[in-house]
Structure formats: C-alpha cells, structure tokens
Structure 1
Amino acid sequence: MESMAALAFVVFFVSGSVALNQFDFASRIRPQLVARILIGRLLWISLPVAVLLIAMLWAPNCDIIRGLVFVPLFPVVTCIFAVSIALVLVAYRRSVLWLIVIGLLIAVAGVVYDLGFHPQFYSYNHVFGGVLGPIYDEELAVRPGLFWFRGLTILWAALLMGVASMKITQRPAVSRRAAKLVIVAGVTIGVVYGFSSPLGINTSESFLRSAFSGHLKTEHFDIYYDAASLSEPELRQWEIEHEYRYDQLASQLNDSVSARIQSYLYPDADTRARLTGTRFTSIAPVWLATPQIHILASQTDGVFSHELVHVFSREFGMPVLRLSPVAGLIEGLAVSLEAPGGAVRSNDRVAASVLFDVQEPEQLAESVAGTLSPFGFWTGRAGVSYEVSGAFVHWLISEYGVARFKQVYASGDFVDVYARSTTALAAEWTDFLAALPVLHVSAAFSATRRFGTPSLFEKNCPHWTPPYVRDLTLAAAQLAEGDSTGVRSVYVALQAHPQAGTLADKGMSRLALADGRVESVVRKYEGLSSDSLSIADRLLFADALSLIGRSSAASRAFLSLRNSYPVYAPNARASLELRSRSTGDSSLVKVLVSIASDSTKARDIGALQELNSELVESGVLNVARLYWASRFERAAGNEIAAASLAVQTAVFARDLAAKELSEETRRTLVFRAARFAFMAGDVDAAFLYGSAALAAATRVGDGSAETLINDFLSKVTWTNQYYDPEYYDIGSDGSTGLNTTR
C-alpha cells in the first residue's frame, strides 16, 4: 500500500506536467486528444508497476494480490485527476508551477483537515490515494470509505474536464453538454460530502459519538461505550478507573486538563478500525480541540493510564499541536507514569540489559540520545525506545522535578532547562542504574525478550496479515465461544500449509481431546523431549496424560511447564500449578478441555461438586475446582458469582500445607480474590485480601508485585472515600453516583 501511495504521488506531478506540456503544444484541444494523452499517461504507470513486479524476484511481496488492487485505486485514479487539472490549467493559460502548488496544497491540506479536525487516524487523498492507519498497526484497515473517496476523485476529474471544455470549446452544443456534466458532477460531489461520515470518508465527532449505544458522565469524562458488551460491574470499574487515574496524574503532574475528556471504549478492534482507522494502536490525539482517548474496552491494564498521560501532556506541550518536539519525551512520560502491570519495572529491565550484556553502557547512552532525536524514536525498536525513554524520564522527574520536565517537554532544549546536554544527562542516568542495589529476578530474561523484538521497519511485510493467520484467529475465537462448527474444516485445510500446518495440527489435537480421542494425542507426543515442544504442545500432552490416568506424569509435565514461565507471570504459574495438583480429577480435566462456552463450563464444574463454604475438608482439589469455576464465571460476565468463588478459593488455599500448594500460588490467589471482590463492588473484601497479598509480597521481597498491589490498594482506598455505592445509578442523562466532591 505504501509503495502505491508513493507511486501515486509521483504520478500526479509527472503525468500532470507531461499532459500540460502536450496540451500546450496542441494546435487544438479535442476530446480525442484528451483521450489519447490520458491513455498514454495511464500506460506509463505500467512501467513502475512492472519494475515492482520484477523486484519480487529478489524481494518477494507478501500481498501481491492486494497490492495490485491498489494500482487502479491509487496511481490510476490519481493520473486521471492530474490530467483533468492539467486540462483546466491549459484552458486558463496557467503554467506547470500552478500544478505543483495545487498538488502540494491538496496533499497537505487533505491530511491536515482529516487528522487535524477529526477523531480519525486515516486520511484519503486525491493526490497520493491515502494513509489507511497508524504506522504501528500491523494490519491496516481497508474501509469502504476509501472506495467512495476515490470515486469522489473521479467525480472531481469529470467536473474539472467539464469546466475546461466550457472554457475551450467554441461550439454551443458542446458547451451545454459540458455544463450539464459540471452540474451533475457538482451536485453528486456535494451529496457525497454531505454523507462523508456515514460513507466512511471522514469520521466526525458527532458521528463517532452516535455509533456508541452507551454514554456515561463523570466529573471529568464523557465515556462512550457499547452497552451490549459491558456489564454494570465492568462499567463501574471503568468509571472508577477513569476518575482515580485522573486524580493520581493531577497530583503527580501538579496539573489538570482544562476541558472535559471524551473517552471511547471500543468493543473490539474491528469496530475501532471501521470507525477510526486504527485496529491495534490505542491513541490520544492531543492535537484535536477536544481531549480524547481511543482504547478497547478489554484493555483494562495500563493502556488507559498511558493514554491519559498523553491527555494531561496537552496542558504543557507546544502551542497548537500540544506535543513535545522530542518524541522520546512524549512516550517516555506516558511509560513512566502509566499504571503498574506487575511485570519487571523499566529501571530493572534497562539496568539488567547492561549487567547481563544485552547491551553495553555506551549503547544505552546512545539509545537515550537516539530516543531524544527527532526520528530516532520511531525508527528504533519499540521495546528499546519505549523502555529506555520511560526509565530515563522517570529518573529525570525524580531527580530534577516535574516543573523543569514540563519546560523541556515544551521546548526540547535540555541545555536551556537543565544546563546539561542530553549526553551528560544520559551519563548521569546510567550511573544511577549501575548503582541500583537489587534487580528483579527475571529482569535479564525480560530485557532479552523486550529488547530483542524487531521494530516495524525490521519486519518483512509489516502491514500484512496472511490469510491463514486470519483463519486461525477466527477459529480460535470460535472455540473460545464454545463453537466448533466449521473449525475442524479450517484446521484440516491448513494442515498442509508450510507456515500454518503446525498451528493447525495443534488445533486438531485439541479437538481430539474434546472428542475423547485421547490416545492419538498421547501417541503424537510420547517420547519427544519437552525442549522440542512448544508451550501449547506441552499443555496438550499434559492434558492427554491426565485423561488416560497417568496422573504422576501429567503432574510433572504441568509443573515443568509452570517453571518455564517467568515469576512476573504469577497468574499463569498459579493456574498451571493447580492443574498439576488436580491431574487425578478426570471429570474436571474433561470440562477444561471441552469445547463449550465459559458459562457452560462454570455450570459443569458446579455440577461436579457443591461449591459452598462447608467443603473445607476437600483440600487442593476443591481449590482447583473453585479456581476454574470463578475463572469461567468471570469470563462469562458473572462478576458477583466469580468474586464469591474467588474468595472461597483464597480461603481454602490459605489453609493448605506448603507441600500441597506453594506460597507463591497462595499469594496469587489471595490477590486474585481482592481484584474479583473489587470488580463485584465489595470494597471491604478487596482491601482485606489486597492487604494480605501485599504483606505476602513484602515478605518475599517481590518489588514489582508490591508496586502493583500498592497501586490497587490506593485505588480501593480512593474508591471507599469518594464512591458511594448506595447512590450508584445510571440516570437517563448518563450521570452516575460517583461522588468526587472534595
């Protein structure tokens, strides 16, 4: 797509100038001449397209079919438009300079109008065709609006040719036909522009708001959401999250946002792509007049707080654009202040990258300088750019204060604000990292994974998702919903695929377990080294061993799998340990491997054993059943039932001996009970279990967990102080009972 946009841009100026020159030398301009020149210009496009096709011999194109579709959409339509402008310029005796000015004006003004005044992240253009979405989106959205817009370009070309004909011709009949063409094309253009938002050409704020069925007002936010996809407890959590993070950032930055913030919670990535052009990239467009955030409703981790930092930064950014001239400061500030996620902290990860030779100290200083340069941040690896700039900004604010940081954020002049160059500041920072007394136990592992991820510019075909990936993703989504209809045929069709075959084979193994064909799965993996198997393969093999009664072997397989996960993934480790302790419960395993909805699985586990507080004597098996029942209830949207079961899980786990369940898993289950209780609206239980989890994390010195739990307890305390459940009610105007009156 990018190559076709670049080609269209060149085609506009080359075809337009050549056509203008040919029209100038013609003694008389007739329709036949216009057609001949236009056909000649269109044939010329085949030359660069042929070069691109030949280049595939040594640089294969991943999506040649879709690329060829963009040939008529981008360069061909642009060529017609350029020739029509050339014809008008000849009719009014204007030089090629006018063509250049008009082309540049349309190219720039179109982007400014689309992105500068609309909550959208795509821009269609008469000159270069368009930009389909943000650079970081790995699967760009081809929306219907693109086709409508290029049709609009053809209409403009027809109108311009009509205007030129009226000026050039001396025959009244031809002039009348041209006038009719101008009128019809003009009226049609007006109608299309009038419906530009419904057609997908632009996304206005009013149209975007109308696309959401739910609207929630809080003190600082207008939250727009899909009422069918969010339960009342989930909506309440989002309400609390919005206002709590606002208060938190207002305190940290000693600032406030000068206008109400529009927060858009999209039900899924496809909906966001359809409305705004961005599928996987969450964005807070600070340059728009209205502060706003665009995220998925499922992104309940640090994504919202990250984007909210960007909204706050509007208040001290450059005039008009409200940005910093230094990209590293823009993202570095957001990373440094985003909500903790429980993973390894940026400081630990960056320090470990030096300590364990992931990168040299000199490289680290260069990385800082790179992220603070105009283009270095975007061209470098995202893992390096985000982590390094985040850790550096965190140190910069801690060392020199937020007031001075705001100054450098707006100006980008470090020498003026800090009386030090970026190189000198980077050296101070690396000295600080070298002096850190303790690093997270998984810091080196995390740094290697994070910093080793290639950037978008290092990937082949960065904006292309192969069809087999789409098929496998759809199949996985269907299985997650308990629907295996059609999934088997997808897996069978892909088993022979060179890239997808392995994944399709895993899917067939999962279906085999659900169907009771367990022996075939055992034979497939028996005798293979665990080092040669993926995590998914090892999980399938362990389940199969459980189902055929080889409990000890299955337990060892699950524990081995658990130990392959880093300690900053406590939920996965706890889940796998519980699997290892319940391999003898074939009834539970059958439910876990079944193809059924979450609510059905929760009901099936409940049918295995009465789940109530009288079952203290049932031991670790009861803990496992309670855990999985609560997990499925939560996934099904039954927050209150999930919270009750999660609390029971923590209570029963607490009484187990260490040989039955590890301290780490018990601690994880206690914090899980706190989070589930908070989701269900029980603030007291959330604080009780959260405090217990914090004490346990402190005992073992898990700094990342302490940071995460402290943040959680801070939110619980804030909620208890400012939120009155008795008055919680969503009124007809969208207002709620969140009491933030100080």
Structure 2
Amino acid sequence: MNALIFKVRPLILFFILGLVASFLPLIGDFYLETAQVSSVLFSFLTILGVNIESFNKSSHQSPFASHLTYLSTIYFKMGVFLTPIFASALIRGCFNLDGLFFVLLIPFVAIIFVYALLIFISGLSRHYKMVTSLIIVFLVAILPLIILKIVPHVFLFNPIWGWFPGPIYDEQILLSLNLVYHSVFVLTLSLIFIIGNRSLFKLDPLKRSIIVVITGFVLLLFLYNWSNLGLGYSLKNIESHLGGVAESEHFVLIYDDEVLSDIDVNYWLFWHEFHFYELTEQLELSWSGDKIRSVLYRDVWQKHEYTGAKYTSYVPVWNSIPQLHLDLQSADLLLRHEMVHVLTKGFSNSFIGANLKIGLTEGIAVALEDPRSVRFTRDEILVNSELEIRSDLIDDAFSFLGFYGGRSSINYSVSGSFVNYLLQNYAVDDFKCVYGGSAFDECFSSFEGIKGGWVEFVNGIPPDTTATLYARNYIGRESIFEKKCSRFVSETEKQYDIYRRMYSRGDYEGAYQVLVSLNKKYPGSTTIWMNLSELGVTLNEFVPDFNFEANHNLSDSVNVFFRQADMAIVQGDFKLADHLLTRFDSISSPNPAFEAFITSQLALRGADTVTSIIDDNTILNWQHFIYIRYKHGDIRSDYPVSHHNLWLTLKSNRNERLHLNDIDLLMNMGTNELSESNLHYIIANLIQLKSTKDLDKYALELVQTLEEKAQTKQNENVLAMYYRAINFSESYH
C-alpha cells in the first residue's frame, strides 16, 4: 500500500501541474473552475489506472479493501495537485469556504460516480475501461449540448464536472443548495451501480432487492421533484411557477402575476410589438414562426433561480422554441438587444442558431440596440476612450477566445460599431449572407478593405470632451480574467445581496434587520448606514448615530448630513435640522456639479443655508419631501416641481407604470421643468397608452422638450425612436 501511495515521481508531476494551474485565470482561484477541472482530470485518471480484475482476485486483502485503497490513491494525488492552488489562493486572499466546498464536493462525488460506473460495467464487459471512457466523454461534452437544446435555462448539473451556474458575466457565484441535492442524487445512482455488480457484493437476493428498491425509490423521488429541487425547468414549469400569461400578435408574455398589473402587461406587450415591427423592417424579415415566448422575471434573483443568469439577460438561440428572458430592472433597455438574437436566428445556418463568429452575433444586436441603453453611440465611445482603433480589434471580437477572453465593453462596442458600419454602407442581404456562414469575401468585396474603411470612419469622428469620462470608464471595466479573485464573494457581500433582494421585493422589515447586523460589523461604512437610515425613516425604527471616526470624503459627509437632518424633521426636532444644515455654509468645492447637488437637495426640502428653516411653509415642504422620499407617497398638484421630479424618479426606480390620472396631473406642469431622465420615463409610459388627441399632443411636447435639453447624436437616435413609436401606437391601438 505504501509503495502504491507514495510513488514520488507521479506526485511531483501532479504538484507541478497544480503549480502551473495556480497561475491560470479562474482555475488558480481555488473556486468552482478549480473543482471542475480537477473533477474531469481525475475522473479520467481513475479510469486509466484501474484494474478491477486484479482487485477482485487479490490475495493480500479483500476486494472491497482493494477498491478503497485505489480510490485513496486517486484522492491523495488530487490533494497534491490542489495543494499549490490552495496555497496561492490563500496567499492572494482569494480563499473562502464556498470555494473549499466546491473543491471538496464536486471532484469527490465525480470520482465515486466514475468508479461505481467502472465496477458496474466490469460485470458486463471486459472492455469496461474503454466503454466507461466513452460514457464519460458523452456525459462531459455531448449530454450538456442535448440538454441545452431542450431546456430554457443556461445552468447545468453534471455528474462529472458538477455544475455550470450560468453566463460568465455573472461573476459572483455562491455555493448552491441545488448542487448538494444533485450530489446526493449522483451518489444514490452510484450506489445502484455498485450493487449491480453481483461478483463484487455477494448478497443474498432478498438483501440485494431491498437495497435496490430503497435506492430506486430515492432516485424516483429526485426525478419527480427535479424542478422543485431547482435542478432543471422546462418553459412550462416556469410559466406555471410565475403564473401570468398574456398574448399579442407575435408574443406570449410570461410574467409573475403577483408583481405585474394589467397596465404593466399592456406596457410590455406594446414595446415588444414596437421593437418587433422595427427590427423586422430593418432586417427585411418576414416572420412566419411561432409566437415568441418572452419571460419577464420580477427581478434578477428570480431570473437567476430559474435560468442561472443573474445580471445577464439572454436568449437560448439553440433552443427550438423562440424565447427571451429578461428581468424588470433592465428589460426596458435590453429588450430590443435580446429580440435581435431571436430574429437573426432565422437566417443563421449554424446548429446553435447564431453565427459562430461571436462578434457578428453580438455585433448585430448591439448595432440595433435600444439607443437608451448607452449614453453615447458606440462609435463615440470608441473614439473618446483613448483606445487605438485598429483593424485587429475586429479580428479579436470575431474570435471566440478573443471575444470572451477580452473586455466585454471593448468587444461589444467594436463589434456593434463595425456591424452598424456594414448595415449603413452595404445591403442587408450582404450581412445576412455572412451571418449565414459564408466567408466575408464571398458576401462583400474585400474583408480587409472593409475593416480599413471602418477604422478610417471611426478615427474620422471628432472627439467630444463631454463623452470622454463616460467612454473611458466604460471601456476601462476589467474582464473577469483580469480581476483578482474574480469569483470571490465575502460574507458581507452575501448579506448585502440578501438586503438588496429583500428591499427590491418590499420586505423592508427583513432588509432593515440585515442592515442592522451589517452596521454593527462595519460602523464606519457610509453605504450601509445610508441604506439603514433610509429604512429607519421608512419604518419609524431607531437608527444609531453615524461613526465619523473613519475617513470620509466630502460627498459621503454631505449625504450623511442631509439624512441626519431628514431624521431630525421626522422626530420633530426642527432646531437640530436647522443646525445640521448650517454646516453647508462652510462647505465649498471647486466642482460646480457638487455645489449644484447641494443646492438641489436643499431646494427639495424647501430650505437654504441662509434663512432659518423654522418656518411653517418650509417645514411643510420638508414633510412633503419625506412623505414622497421615504414613505413612497403620491404627489399632489400643489407640490413643488422638484417633488414631482423626485416622485417620478422613485416610481421609475421601482419599475411602476404611470396611470392616466398621473398623466393628467403631469400635463398641468410645464414640460421644461421635468428632468431629462423623467422625460424618458413619462414618454415610454405615455406612448403605449391608448391614443387620444390630448395624449398624442402631450407626448410630442415631451419629445420636443427632450430634443432641446440633450443635443447629442445618441439623443437624436432616441428621439427618432420615440417619434416612430408614437406613429406606431396609432395603428397598434
């Protein structure tokens, strides 16, 4: 046994492999990817070194002991491989318990499963190693593709590599209880395989039958409750769980009926049909397929539960049923992008329903995206980002490794800009030709010439200083492969995510308790205290004083002062509120925007730093502000314009729709007094309402006001879309 376990040369090899792996992105973080790679690697090594016949005939120990000894050597070698990865993660601060559970659970279960399969097949065929290897290849690479063709979600469970949680852009991955359920299922299946080898376990028929019946019953329970355990869903499962279904000419909207009202449903059906109408016109498509299933989840957490995608919206183009999956928080901006993927599937000839050059697939969706989704055009973002515009950027964006290995902000912008250049300068049929799988030179005159033309076009766009900061911040976002400990999630981040989910779903009491706990742990955190104090005012709960001992920047301090003053007004301590606001007399900043922020916040409360706030009218205004800001109250026509803007902003943040009586109230206001973001919000709500002469006139007034407020290229694109939507609404209704 000692000779078997402590062979030095193989152990040195595994240690060196682990050392190399510790420098690789993701794999070296001792997290999920580490577990997946280890699991696949040592599953095949388990097959390679096994000799079941000799184990069963061993004269030194029982067959069971021989098998156990062999498994121990596999686990020991894997431990040697993982040691340098573990040490590296620990030194770099990337280690946490979730990663440890992934690394222990996934390979441990997979190796038992593979060995159980070997034992079972050895009782059926003397070529058991080859047969098992083929089965493992099927399970690792082929079965997942078959499952993806059937199911709507992107998460997958697998007996070998364990779990694929979803899109790589959702960087933070937590240990899932569903993975534990799946591991128990795999272990139960392994037990059946082992019992199935009659030569290894010589049990009498009754005992064998009892074990088979019990384990078989457990397996059936798992299969029957597959969706209830979160191991997989069909589109019908999701529809049944969410409860709401509504149809229009081209769409079946599946939604959470506890969240969306009839007004919400009408809003979303209108914008689905409008974008569909526009995109089919632009792509010169005649849709003859089934109605598109559009699943609208209440929030990112619900979407993550059913699909595996959290902060990523997606379309499973490889699925036979046309469908898209969005959450309410981002659907307005991403609906059009995702719909492009559904529609372009019609002229893709690949088995996945999209072009294999990922830059083309995402490029067409970005080129035709909702112009509200980014503040500047993709061309402007590139030219103002300090990025050197070269033709090889397109080559990177069009390769799989180049696209997903680089920064998504760069590759999405480059591919979107390039495809938009193609659509503006060439026929749509030429683009369809290359998207369908033909070579560029077969569909266009010269690929190199077109790339050169694009570079010349983008470099010819004059820089815009107003776009510089936005563009540099946007392009500067690191990819998952550039970040240190990219999958690492601290306990604080977990708790903060729980708070955000509770708050989003209206569980303010639960969210408050989570923040109380976090505030005790981090008393100097401005973010935690500001969220806690907001809920404290909403719920009339006690909020501890803020700890100013830690270093805080000017912006944080000002926000804290305003919040403390609001709390003083709620408590009826007007003198304290007055005292807190006098601090602003001594605050000066070279940043005009910061000074404007202070002035606007004072105006919202009906106060300034020159006159005393002990004034009935000022106090009344301040109380109205608190009623709207913290108590989620409605406005009245006699409230100041600043309160109307605040009310609209809060409704927009909560994804609430405007009713006709809300529109009637707003129509009495001057359109110039509304903020730019609120103009967008009102217009988007107003356009889909049943057309009347007054509403059409008001919609046009709002669009014209927006035209005066923001004169940029992207704003022109947004306004053009609004005008087209107004015209479309007349025929739609």
Query: Match for residue 287 of structure 1?
Result: 318
Once the two structures are superposed, the pairs formed by residues 644-659 of structure 1 within 5 Å of their partners are: 644-649=664-669, 651=670, 654=672
Query: Match for residue 723 of structure 2?
Result: 713
Q: Secondary structure at the match of 1:124?
A: strand
**Residues 346 and 391 in structure 1, CA contact (< 8 A), matched pair in contact too:** yes
Query: Match for residue 104 of structure 1?
Result: 137
**Residues 84 and 161 in structure 1, CA contact (< 8 A), matched pair in contact too:** yes
**More deviation in 231-240 or 24-33?**
24-33
**Residues 137 and 281 in structure 1, CA contact (< 8 A), matched pair in contact too:** yes
Question: What is the one-letter code of the residue matched to 2:367?
Answer: S
Q: 1:520 to 1:61 in 2, by over 3 A?
A: closer
**Residues 509 and 540 in structure 1, CA contact (< 8 A), matched pair in contact too:** no
Question: What is the one-letter code of the residue matched to 1:451?
Answer: I
Q: Secondary structure at the match of 2:132?
A: helix
1:625 aligns with 2:639: no
Can you give the 5+ residue segments of structure 2 that lack an aligned partner in the other structure? 1-31, 567-576
Query: Match for residue 150 of structure 1?
Result: 183
Query: Match for residue 242 of structure 1?
Result: 272
Cα deviations across residues 20-55 of structure 1 (Å, max 9, x unaligned)? 367468447733433443444444443334333222
Query: Match for residue 68 of structure 1?
Result: 100
1:689 aligns with 2:698: yes
2:712 is matched with which residue: 660, 678, 702? 702
Once the two structures are superposed, the pairs formed by residues 9-408 of structure 1 within 5 Å of their partners are: 9-20=40-51, 23=54, 26-27=57-58, 30-62=63-95, 64-91=96-123, 92-94=125-127, 96-140=129-173, 142-164=175-197, 166-167=198-199, 173-174=203-204, 177-178=207-208, 180-257=210-287, 258-341=289-372, 343-353=375-385, 358-362=386-390, 365-408=391-434
Q: Distance in 1 between matches of 2:415 and 2:200?
A: 61
- Size of the aligned set, in residue pairs, is 675
Q: 1:85 to 1:499 in 2, by over 3 A?
A: farther
Q: Secondary structure at the match of 2:232?
A: coil
Q: Distance in 2 between matches of 1:434 and 1:199?
A: 54
Q: Secondary structure at the match of 1:465?
A: coil
Displacement, 1:288?
0.5
Displacement, 1:218?
1.1
Question: What is the one-letter code of the residue matched to 2:697?
Answer: L
Displacement, 1:248?
0.6
Q: Distance in 2 between matches of 1:550 and 1:688?
A: 45
Query: Match for residue 4 of structure 2?
Result: none
Q: Secondary structure at the match of 2:51?
A: helix
Question: What is the one-letter code of the residue matched to 2:269?
Answer: E
Q: Secondary structure at the match of 1:200?
A: coil
Displacement, 1:337?
0.5
Report the aligned-residue RMSD.
Answer: 3.9
Cα deviations across residues 454-507 of structure 1 (Å, max 9, x unaligned)? 011112233343221233344456667887647666556545767983433444
**Residues 674 and 685 in structure 1, CA contact (< 8 A), matched pair in contact too:** no
Question: What is the one-letter code of the residue matched to 1:213?
Answer: G
**More deviation in 73-82 or 696-705?**
696-705
**Residues 20 and 83 in structure 1, CA contact (< 8 A), matched pair in contact too:** no
Question: What is the one-letter code of the residue matched to 1:692?
Answer: E
Q: Distance in 2 between matches of 1:668 and 1:290?
A: 36
Displacement, 1:18?
2.5
Question: What is the one-letter code of the residue matched to 2:730?
Answer: N
Q: Distance in 2 between matches of 1:7 and 1:114?
A: 23
Q: Distance in 1 between matches of 2:492 and 2:544?
A: 28
1:539 is matched with which residue: 559, 563, 582? 559
Q: Distance in 2 between matches of 1:22 and 1:54?
A: 38
**Residues 407 and 477 in structure 2, CA contact (< 8 A), matched pair in contact too:** yes
Q: 1:499 to 1:120 in 2, by over 3 A?
A: farther
Q: Distance in 1 between matches of 2:40 and 2:519?
A: 42
1:436 is matched with which residue: 458, 461, 470? 461
Displacement, 1:295?
0.6
**Residues 646 and 672 in structure 1, CA contact (< 8 A), matched pair in contact too:** no
Query: Match for residue 457 of structure 1?
Result: 481
**Residues 328 and 389 in structure 1, CA contact (< 8 A), matched pair in contact too:** yes
Cα deviations across residues 265-312 of structure 1 (Å, max 9, x unaligned)? 111222222222222211111110100001112324221111100001
Query: Match for residue 571 of structure 2?
Result: none
2:452 is matched with which residue: 419, 427, 435? 427
Displacement, 1:716?
2.2
Q: 1:23 to 1:282 in 2, by over 3 A?
A: farther
Question: What is the one-letter code of the residue matched to 1:704?
Answer: Q
Normalized against structure 2, the TM-score is what?
Answer: 0.81
Q: Secondary structure at the match of 1:411?
A: coil
Q: 1:557 to 1:456 in 2, by over 3 A?
A: farther
**Residues 480 and 597 in structure 1, CA contact (< 8 A), matched pair in contact too:** no
**More deviation in 48-57 or 584-593?**
584-593
**Residues 525 and 541 in structure 1, CA contact (< 8 A), matched pair in contact too:** no
Displacement, 1:575?
7.5
Q: 1:671 to 1:268 in 2, by over 3 A?
A: closer
Q: Distance in 1 between matches of 2:436 and 2:78?
A: 45
Normalized against structure 1, the TM-score is what?
Answer: 0.80
Q: Distance in 2 between matches of 1:668 and 1:137?
A: 27
Q: 1:564 to 1:248 in 2, by over 3 A?
A: farther
Q: Secondary structure at the match of 1:548?
A: helix
Can you give the 5+ residue segments of structure 1 that lack an aligned partner in the other structure? 567-571, 616-620, 655-660, 724-742
Displacement, 1:360?
2.1
Question: What is the one-letter code of the residue matched to 1:269?
Answer: V
Q: Distance in 2 between matches of 1:49 and 1:195?
A: 35
Q: Secondary structure at the match of 1:161?
A: helix
**Residues 220 and 243 in structure 1, CA contact (< 8 A), matched pair in contact too:** yes
Displacement, 1:666?
6.3
Q: 1:90 to 1:508 in 2, by over 3 A?
A: closer
Q: Distance in 1 between matches of 2:422 and 2:71?
A: 59
Displacement, 1:447?
1.1
Query: Match for residue 495 of structure 2?
Result: 471
Cα deviations across residues 210-237 of structure 1 (Å, max 9, x unaligned)? 1121110111111111111012221111
Displacement, 1:382?
1.0
**Residues 16 and 99 in structure 1, CA contact (< 8 A), matched pair in contact too:** yes
Q: 1:72 to 1:508 in 2, by over 3 A?
A: closer
Once the two structures are superposed, the pairs formed by residues 444-523 of structure 1 within 5 Å of their partners are: 444-475=468-499, 485=509, 490-491=514-515, 493-495=517-519, 501-507=525-531
Displacement, 1:453?
0.7
Query: Match for residue 735 of structure 1?
Result: none
Query: Match for residue 23 of structure 2?
Result: none
Q: Secondary structure at the match of 2:326?
A: strand
**Residues 113 and 159 in structure 2, CA contact (< 8 A), matched pair in contact too:** yes
Q: Distance in 1 between matches of 2:297 and 2:506?
A: 23
Query: Match for residue 38 of structure 2?
Result: 7
